[in-house]
Amino acid sequence: MNFCRRRFNLYFLPATLGLLLSGCALWHRQHDFGAVLRIHVESESKAAGSNKSISVLRSQPMTINISTDPILTESDVISAKLLDTPDGGFSLEIKFEETAGWRLEQYTAGNPGKHLAIFAQWSLNKEDGRWLAAPFIARRMAGGVLTFTPDASREEAEQLVKTLNVDAKRNAGLKDK
């Protein structure tokens, strides 16, 4: 009886150590910060639970109702760029993977005259996250690219682009494995 217990302990010890070490690695990994990007579609109804009311833009606040489920997230991003505009400002260009691009095209084709609501967070600081834009859907957005002018400083936008690109490279590496 003691012999079986020792053998069990010999097998159990490496398994337990492996689990603890992988658990510590997972715990550490969860605390690595990645950008947060959530893109929602404006909703007409105020059905409890599936919709909520948000305020977008700080200088001229606009209240819109959105579906609580995002249509796109940071995990769908391939790359992000900060583009200079002719008027001296800047805009963000977010390129999505193929299936996410199809989703963007589908939702914009089906919801003309509504808005997309874009939320982003670019650091661990909760104040570094807010609703950045609510671009009007005039027509179908094909090609998997979304360009918008954010309600953010250039430094905030640069940090968001940097973090989204780091996450996109990490996600691409995980998909290759």
Tell me the pLDDT tens digit for each residue of 19-71.
555 554 444 444 456 789 999 999 986 666 688 999 898 888 999 999 999 99
Q: By percentage, how much of the chain surpasses pLDDT 90?
A: 61
pLDDT confidence bin for 175, thresholds 50/70/90: low
Cα 177 from Cα 29, distance rounded (Å):
17
pLDDT in tens, 138-163: 999 999 999 999 999 999 999 999 99
Residue 130, beta-bridge partner list: 120
Task: Provide the token pair at 147.
Answer: 């360009």
**Cβ atoms of 131 and 54 closer than 8 Å:** yes
Cα 158 from Cα 152, distance rounded (Å):
10
Phi-psi region of 133 (alpha: psi -120 to 50; beta: other; left: phi over 0): beta
DSSP string, 118-144: EEEE-SSSGGGEEEEE--B--S---SS
Average pLDDT over residues 84-113: 96
Q: What CATH number was assigned to the domain covering residues 33-176?
A: 3.30.1360.200
